[in-house]
Amino acid sequence: MKILISIGTRPELIKLYPLVIELKKYKKIKTIICFTGQHDILIKKILKDFKLKPNYRLNCKNDFGNLNILTSKLYFGLDKVLKKEKPDLVIVQGDTTSALVSSVAAFHNKIKIAHVEAGLRSNHLEEPFPEEFNRLVISKIANLNFAPTKNAVNNLLNENIDKKTIYLTGNTVVDALNIFKKKKYFKKIKKTFILVTCHRRENYSYYQNLIKNIKLTASKVKDIQIRILCHPGILNFRNNKKKIQELSKFSSIKIYQSLTYFEILNLIANCKFIITDSGGIQEEAPSFKKFVYVIRNYTERVEGSKKGISKLISIKNNQVYREIIKNYKKKNLFDKKKFNPYGNGKAAKFISKILKKI
């Protein structure tokens, strides 16, 4: 059996890495890794850290953020690879443009599709954009749907996806964290700080309001330390970069523009709580017993809010500032007795066993 794993972004690589490890244990399965190039700079470092060499590296980088240009490049590059390799199955992860195009390209070539992290839904087509659309389309054509949670399973069933194609697996990101924890990448940071990240397209226009909230916090309360992770997309949008640089005058604020995945995990492990619109961090934070404020209108990861380990807040007003002021002195926002609702660290093994049987 020949399996092609399509990887386009850093989160995809992180979440598919445990599955790559498991599949390579089976001699009867030939695993081919295709890196699409959607995330170029972000993924180079992590490929090196993971000691992973793709069989194919496509040049589909999209410097202008135009989804149609990216999509056309991906179709052209992936079709060539699929026609050359003729895999029995294409594995995609999540809801990126790379995942969407890989799925449709495989469908056009009559190749079966396995979708890892299937069934996540915000039920709002433009939030997140374009991810909600991408995952809806993938679910319609996937032959195997590996859903991370019961809620994701129910979403698929409600859309009349064939029950026989759906498997409750947990999320492979928890598997990845367990691998990295054993390697002892984490070091204690003495200062108490709040971690802030923001990169969703629907939040680009509101990023300056987030900066205002952080600036207000830093000017009002001197003993709050804030660490900000900046995504290339945010930096390149309008004059966000100039606004971010204005925060540098505050000694209590540190800004990071380029960190390795392990360095990001170290910040998650050591922070007091997190303010983010990242889906991956919502899944990773519970493994470190960290509370998450989700700066979005809707989230497809509803398990966190149901468990009381995350909360939706607005980026459009002063709610970020109010939540920081209200909670930065509290000892535990996260109930230590609660566990990560997104997986038990055995998802990759379970998925690989299913693929082996097939």
Just list the catalytic residues: 199
Cα angle: 122, vertex 294, 13; to 5 degrees: 75
Q: Is the dihedral of CA 105, 170, 16, 338 positive or negative?
A: positive
CA neighbor of 6 nearest in space, from 25, 28, 32, 29: 32
Instruction: Kindly state the helix (H) or strand (E) to which residue 339 belongs, with its residue range.
Output: none
As a whole number of angstroms, the distance between CA 288 and CA 268 comes to 7
Taking the CB of residue 71, how many other CB atoms lie within 10 A of it?
A: 18
Write phi, then psi, for 163 (nearest 5 degrees). -55, -35
- Which tokens belong to 9? 């972004």
- Which tokens belong to 275? 């303010």
CA neighbor of 308 nearest in space, from 266, 347, 269, 337: 337
- Which tokens belong to 112? 């079966």
CA neighbor of 174 nearest in space, from 303, 340, 50: 340
Query: Is residue 233 within 8 Å of residue 65, measured between CB atoms?
Result: yes
Taking the CB of residue 255, how many other CB atoms lie within 10 A of it?
A: 15
Helices (H), the chain: 10-23, 41-50, 67-85, 97-108, 131-141, 150-158, 172-182, 207-220, 232-235, 240-246, 261-270, 279-284, 302-307, 319-327, 347-357
Query: Is residue 250 within 8 Å of residue 215, measured between CB atoms?
Result: yes
Q: Is 13 left (phi over 0), alpha (psi -120 to 50) or beta?
A: alpha
As a whole number of angstroms, the distance between CA 217 and CA 219 comes to 6
